[in-house]
Amino acid sequence: MLSLLIWIPILGAIAIALLPQSRARLGGLVISGAVFALSLVVLSQFDLTNAGFQFREYFAWIETLGLNYELAVDGLSLVLLVLNSLLTFIAILTTKPDIERPRLFYGLILLVSGGVAGAFLAQNLLLFFLFYELELVPFYLLISIWGGAKRSYAATKFLMFTAISGVFVLASFLGLIWLTHSSTFAYESLLGQTLPLALQVVLLGMLLVGFGIKIPLVPFHTWLPDTYVEASTPVAILLGGVLAKLGTYGIFRFGLGLFPEAWAKLAPWLAIWAAISIMYGAMAAIAQKDIKRMVAYSSIGHMGYILLGGASLTALGVVGAVSQMVAHGLILALLFYLVGVIEAKVGNRELDVLNGLMNPIRGLPSISSLLVLGGMASAGIPGLAGFISEFLIFQGSYAVFPVQTLLAVVGTGLTAVYFVILLNRTCFGKLDNATAYYPRVTWSDKVPALILTALIIFLGIQPSWLVRWSESTTTAMVAAVPILSPSTPIVEVLGVEGLGVEPGVNRPG
Amino acid sequence: MFQFLVQTAWLVPIYPLVGMLLSAAWFPAITRRTGPRPAGYVNAITTFVSLLHSLLALVTLWGRSPQYQTYHWLKVAGLDLTLVIEISALTVGAMVLINGLNFAAQIYAVGYLEMDWGWARFYAMLALFEAGMCGLVLCNNLFFSYMILEILTLGTYLLVGIWFNQSLVVTGARDAFLTKRVGDLFLLMGVLALYPLAGTWDFNELAIWAQTANVDPKLATLVGLALLAGPMGKCAQFPLHLWLDEAMEGPLPSTILRNSVVVATGAWVLVKMEPVLALSPTVMAVAIAIGAVTALGGTLISIAQIDIKRALSYLVSAYMGLTFIAVGVGQTEAALLIVLTHAIAMACLVMASGSIVLNNITQDLTQLGGLWSRRPITGLSFIAGALGLVALPPLGGFWSLLKLADGTWPHHPVITALLLVINALAAFAVARVFGLLFGGKLNPMTVRSPENLWPITLPMTFGAAFVLHLPIILQRLSLLPDWAMMNKDVALLLTWSSIFGLSLGGVVYLGNWIAKPVSLPWKGLQDLFAYDFYTPKIYRSSIVGSVDFISQLTDWIDRYVVDGLVNLVGIASIFGGETLKYGNSGKTQFYVFTIAFGLALIGILMSWSILSELSVSVGQG
């Protein structure tokens, strides 16, 4: 069952290469639609009361290396799996029908989808890493072939950053295996590791840097604006909606899952990091003049909320963080898509040039209305999917980190500021009659946006459909975290037990 | 008789929502075929159904104890968000008021926006407000109230921005949204902080909790101030008052709703939260101070405005300030009574002034005048609204202010004195507007000014009639004080203060003794009021300026420091690659792979050596 989610797109990518050019789009839609339907089947058969892994699959592969083909799904990966298959379908739907080299494009998109699904499903550290690196190549090609003017710079930057991310992740995994003298990379066999706290902190630190680049968190984010802006719309949707989630998934699955003690120790710093990311992303977004870049920076800010929820280590905060991953994926996809439509119709992304698109006769009224909705969803207006996940994060983390949480709340206010700037400049104002001869917005332009909008509204009004999938898993994850005595400061843990600087001298007793 | 209507009172906010969704069908393509009007009629029908339902439910409910209905919205990780709906005479009565005023505003808009094409958007937004406010009064829970207030903030943005191709409208919509959002976010902080303390957001349970709560006074003050800030934004209180003034750029029919009941949403939440706010005397004092400053400042600024809509909007801030004072002294009933009498009187005033703005083209008070001979119906309606607003017996405003003044008299005589001053100033302000509109000589802008179409005149006269009948309604609802129990000194003082203000305004603006335009002898003071205490400038130089500066700084750092460092590394590695390429195939991917592999190897080796030492040292230790 789970293997199908990985191998249908990958084999489909090959199949598309054999189709005639004109049929490539249809093939892509059918394959990604089938994968989406299959993921819904998994969703419907998922046992909500079971916090552990379900639908296990196991094939021995290279046992001497400890590398086995082990797949399973739990509440954390389930929602992301469905998000991935949905956004893949949406990405193919949003692709221009007359795109160049369609077979390669759709094939690469499906390859990305399969790789990401594999990473979400893998229960073996090395297998995860293989899939984690696998999607890099198609992404690199997708950006560097179909991107904007500066695409080769952006693609190279993307590849460099994410390759380094992979290095850190691999280093941490290998370190864990060698230190625990484990004979296998199986995730569950490593769960009960009893490494000293200092080593855990070091390994977790490497993971945080590795996945922090992927998410990205400030200051590892500079690849993001360039890459998102240069990528074409469908690729940007996948980058923001799916690839970034690979990072947050990794942090939760491996950071929090494998090193709970160290995570608890680092939590206050993580919360500060989150607050900085949120404020930084929002502040940088306010200063942008390019609407796509603005949306890209907004994504950096929103990733901070996920980290904040994880840092809180409360059941509420973590389930909120997982819902935020989904909500952010949907909202960002909608925003990137609408920005893409505006760019395609108006031929411009500059805030200072765009104006009055809400004009009912000669503007893009429906696209503008949806943009208002998307921007407001991102700004956390209640009744839309973004609000409830942010609220759960805030309520969960307030009890633990009040100051950081309040800063994050200020961050949502700043989010509203830049979205109002964006909407005021693009949708409101007076349309320039001399230049406003835009191509008509067709129904096929609207359909992907309407699907995403419907989901955002539905999950906002009925949030239990957003949180129910992951609730038991995240609750169990939080319960697995040992309660540390808060009195030992992090420096002491590192200084005395860890770095071995004059052992015994500083240690009391 | 209509028991099932009471049971289904939760449907009242649903009808306008249905209307809102239906009007979404009038997107431009259909509007080109049918014209925009059907969208408005659909909404007027759904609002009328709402009005009828709530009215019949009120009749049935009268004198009975409140009913509660629960709806499980979300239950996750120990957090139970259950919506409790309170169906009582008070809440259904408030819905009747909201629906009635919205119905009037919708009929009014049929006439006022006759030439407009944005009906679908406009009526959809009015419906959103109606639904939101009905939902707000029904839900007995701080969390859901916050949600609704925040959605209405978005509604304000879209409603003010209906005429989005005018630049003042765009800035007005922006400022309204952001100012209200600031208040909302403080409210959100309060909502977040309150839950760990009280363990509930239910208003009734909060009131019970507050009776016995033992909270650290500092924390209670901070939470209380945060909870105060949300209503401050909604009620347009200093220093979050600017948006209401700028919102006057929106269509006037929406102002009817906004100036009467939308601003009162803040007061409603404030009244509900009074037990929690009362935990900290500081918070109560702050509420009084904010209310007093706004009420006094608002009336003074109103007197200095030359725009008729702005002159009225600052009075709205002032009267909402009175509700803050009322809540600050614990007089929640007085606060609600002020909300009721103010809403009806203000709606009447706005409708009358809109009736003049529409066919005199201008809303500049200095260009109007002499309209009494041309517009007697509008003039009479304006008088009714004006007298209903200030404390002049036997109309509504008198009873609400009397209740407040009476309540403050024993313990806070200073506040009572302040109320008298505010009332006199408000009376002066409405007399001034009346004088400038209807007194004086006819001028080119006013010489041809017939009464308007029935869709405008009928709601206006209906509003005036409602103002005049309000005392009877209040008496039927036994909301008037007993004659024997009434504090006659306070009542007399209030009456005299109104008479003083009205007659002074009449003398100055209707008589010929003082040269027009009237201004204060000292120009600086006049400008201070006319330019709203220079609040826009203060905003720009403080909060707006600093956010702008920090964002530019962040952008600079992002461009040149963080990314600059990355690019530097990039250039260095390209340089390295250039020198290496003579021994290689020149494929970038290969370089990347080499670099990645090498880094991985180095990283592992380095960390391994450190880590093994560490484990050894730990083992030794």
Give the pLDDT of residue B270.
94
Q: What's the complex ipTM?
A: 0.90
CA-to-CA distance for A499 and A199, rounded, in angstroms?
A: 9
Boundary (domain end) residue, out of A258, A292, A307: A258
Q: Are residues A231 and A292 in the same domain?
A: no
Name the pLDDT band for A487 (thresholds 50, 70, 90).
very low
Length of chain A: 509
Residues 243-302 of A with CB under 8 A from B: 280, 283-288
Q: Are residues A317 and A459 in the same domain?
A: yes
For A383, the closest of B75, B151, B171 (CB atoms) is B151
CA-to-CA distance for A244 and A258, rounded, in angstroms?
A: 20
Whether B76 and A420 lie within 8 Å, measured CB to CB: no
Q: Which residue of B has its CA nearest to A410?
A: B185
Q: How far is B311 from chain A (nearest CA, A)?
A: 27
Q: Which residue of B has its CA nearest to A428?
A: B164
Residues 15-44 of B with CB under 8 A from A: 27-28, 31
Rounded (to 5) percent helix, strand, coil in chain A: 70, 5, 25
Contact yes or no for B399/B474 (Cβ under 8 A): yes
Residues of A with Cβ-Cβ distance to B549 under 8 angstroms: none
A254-313 tens-digit pLDDT: 999 899 989 998 999 999 999 999 999 999 999 999 999 999 999 999 999 999 999 999
Boundary (domain end) residue, out of A230, A258, A286: A258
Q: Chain A within 8 Å of B222 (Cβ-Cβ)?
A: no
Give the pLDDT of residue A156.
87
Count Cβ neighbours within 10 Å for each residue of A235-267 and write b for 16 or more, e otherwise: bbbbbbbbbbbbbbbbbbbbbbbbbbbbbbbbb
Site from A133, A150, A160 to mutate, B interface, most B CB atoms within 10 angstroms: A160
Residue A80 lies in a domain: yes
Q: Are residues A63 and A149 in the same domain?
A: yes
Q: In terms of Cα–Cα distance, which of A341, A339, A343, A423 is closest to A381?
A: A423
Q: Which residue of A has its CA nearest to B36?
A: A360
Residues of A with Cβ-Cβ distance to B554 under 8 angstroms: 280, 283-284, 287
The pTM score is 0.90
Q: How far is B29 from chain A (nearest CA, A)?
A: 9
Residue span of the structural domain in which A205 resides: 1-258
A327 token code pair:
């909500």
Whether A163 and B555 lie within 8 Å, measured CB to CB: no
Q: Are residues A214 and A359 in the same domain?
A: no
Site from A164, A172, A222 to mutate, B interface, most B CB atoms within 10 angstroms: A222
Name the pLDDT band for B589 (thresholds 50, 70, 90).
low
Contact yes or no for A317/A256 (Cβ under 8 A): no
CA-to-CA distance for B249 and B161, rounded, in angstroms?
A: 8
pLDDT at A508 exceeding the cut of 70: no
pLDDT at A78 exceeding the cut of 90: yes
Boundary (domain end) residue, out of A204, A232, A258: A258
pLDDT at B221 exceeding the cut of 60: yes
B311-355 tens-digit pLDDT: 999 999 999 999 999 999 999 999 999 999 999 999 999 999 999
Residues 328-347 of A with CB under 8 A from B: none
Domain ranges of chain B: 1-138, 141-530, 532-575, 584-621
Secondary structure element (H or E) that encloses residue A58, with its range: strand A54-62
Whether A395 and B79 lie within 8 Å, measured CB to CB: yes
B422 token code pair:
């505010």
B193-209 tens-digit pLDDT: 999 898 889 999 999 99
pLDDT at A495 exceeding the cut of 60: no
The whole-number average pLDDT for the span A495-502 is 40
- Give chain A's domain count: 2
Give the pLDDT of residue A501.
38
Q: How far is A203 from chain B (nearest CA, A)?
A: 9
CA-to-CA distance for B54 and B64, rounded, in angstroms?
A: 15
User: Hey, which residues does A67 pair with through a beta bridge?
Assistant: A62
Q: Chain A within 8 Å of B465 (Cβ-Cβ)?
A: no
Residue A189 lies in a domain: yes
Contact yes or no for A356/A429 (Cβ under 8 A): yes
Residue A476 lies in a domain: yes
Q: Are residues A205 and A320 in the same domain?
A: no
Q: Are residues A95 and A6 in the same domain?
A: yes
Q: How far lies B377's CA from each of B362, B454, B459, in Å?
A: 19, 12, 12
Write out B181-232 in H/E/C secondary structure. HHHHHHHHHHHHHHHHHHCCCEHHHHHHHHHHCCCCHHHHHHHHHHHHHHHH
Residues of A with Cβ-Cβ distance to B592 under 8 angstroms: 159-160, 163
For B151, the closest of A382, A412, A414 (CB atoms) is A382
B13-54 tens-digit pLDDT: 999 999 999 988 777 777 778 888 888 999 999 999 999 999
Q: How many CB atoms lie within 10 A of CB B422?
A: 28
Residues of A with Cβ-Cβ distance to B27 under 8 angstroms: 365-366
Q: Chain B within 8 Å of A414 (Cβ-Cβ)?
A: yes
Q: Are residues A252 and A387 in the same domain?
A: no
Q: Are residues A151 and A205 in the same domain?
A: yes
Work out the mean pLDDT of chain A and round it to a whole number. Answer: 88
Q: Are residues A37 and A182 in the same domain?
A: yes
The whole-number average pLDDT for the span B211-235 is 91
For B603, the closest of A167, A196, A284 (CB atoms) is A167
Residue A344 lies in a domain: yes
Q: How far is A4 from chain B (nearest CA, A)?
A: 30
Residue A503 lies in a domain: no
B58 token code pair:
């009120």
**3-class SS at A507?**
coil
Residues of B with Cβ-Cβ distance to A164 under 8 angstroms: 596, 599
Give me the amino acid identity at B230: G
Whether B615 and A196 lie within 8 Å, measured CB to CB: yes
Q: How far is A364 from chain B (nearest CA, A)?
A: 10
